[in-house]
Amino acid sequence: MVKYSLVGYDSSETSQRAFRFAVELARCGGGRIRVVYVLQVTQGGADACSLMITDESRHRTQELLDELRTIAPDAIDRVDLEITHGSPGDVLVNQVRQHPTIDHIVIGHTSRGTLGRWLLGSVSEDVLAGAHVPVTVVR
């Protein structure tokens, strides 16, 4: 039985579906959900850097909690949220190392095409290659 699921979250529709999936797993087994939102400097430029080093991260944390609350209002007490920076695939794999109670990863899949995967990589491929716990990719 899954007790602690890690969800890679970026507010996209597929990550919202991944969060919903993890919520259902947690409800069935009395588990918890660790939601990780990864800032990538390549995506946000100066704004992402600013967010990483200022108190704006507290505001963004509240915004994300509010967003998650609208998706699953009765499950927010099961959620641990972290905003961090780096390469999403690496961050998610490292989360499992840092939090040994995580026993499952749930991620959304976004199709980028060949060029996008070559330039930016694929989070799902990185996680599937590096994870030592079961991974569910939600489409």
pTM of this prediction? 0.84
pLDDT at 120: 41
pLDDT along the chain (139 residues), means of 10: 95 94 95 92 58 65 95 96 90 96 91 48 81 92
**Among 6, 4, 1, which residue's Cα sits nearest to residue 123?**
6
CATH number, domain with residue 83: 3.40.50.620
Q: Which residues pair with 104 in a beta bridge?
A: 5
Total of domains in the chain: 1
pLDDT at 87: 87
Residue 34 CB contacts under 8 Å (≥ 6 apart), including other chains:
4, 5, 6, 7, 79, 80, 81, 82, 95, 99, 102
Expressed as residue numbers, the domain containing 101 is 4-138
